[in-house]
Amino acid sequence: MKVFTKLLFIALSAILMFGCASKTPKGGAKVDDLNANNGVTTDGTQQGGVGGDPYSDPSSALYNQKRVVYFDLDSTEVTQSDRPTISAHAKYLAGNSGQTVSLEGHADERGSREYNLALGERRSNAVRQLLLAEGVAANQIQTISYGEEKPAETGHDEDAWQYNRRVEFVYGAR
């Protein structure tokens, strides 16, 4: 009976976890209900304010900035279009020396687990290097790779994979 109860709990948890994520219209922003990030969509734009959140404070360097940087397939190169986002985070961190950020690197499901963990690490380190170059103190930045383990989208096609190749900025994560 205990085994049945555990299996039932696991099944219900999986249903809740995967059943709550909303889908994105092609080319549109997606809000991940499992990781709502204070109203920030997975394309990183703000969708409403939360008190004390630097993303909703008009005086903050992060006001309406993205929290996610996306990458091309098998790439660790930050695109030119994402450089201003990283610069805004650098400005915020440099001006708030007590603030810390965790750069969480991710990959899509293609490739081995080990390869994807290494790719996620290289991606988070690429963003870290850009932050350091803009004056952020090394002790403010933590990098971690989840590889393919925490997908933003669970589909098995390019429409899903493009959301999974990313680095997320998570503040206060120490």
Q: What is the pLDDT of residues 106-160, one digit of tens each?
A: 999 999 999 999 999 999 999 999 999 999 999 999 999 999 999 999 999 999 9
Pairing type for strands 68-70 and 101-106 reads unpaired
Instruction: Give tens-digit pLDDT for 68-91.
Output: 999 999 999 999 999 999 999 999
Which is more confidently placed, 159 or 54? Answer: 159
- Residue 46 DSSP class: B
According to the model, what pLDDT value does residue 62 have? 87
Angular region, 37: left φ>0, alpha ψ -120 to 50, beta rest: left
Q: Rounded to two decimals, what is the model's pTM?
A: 0.69
Query: Beta-strand (E) ranges in the chain?
Result: 68-70, 101-106, 141-147, 166-171
Does the pLDDT of residue 48 top 90, yes or no?
no
Residue 173 has pLDDT above 60, yes or no: no
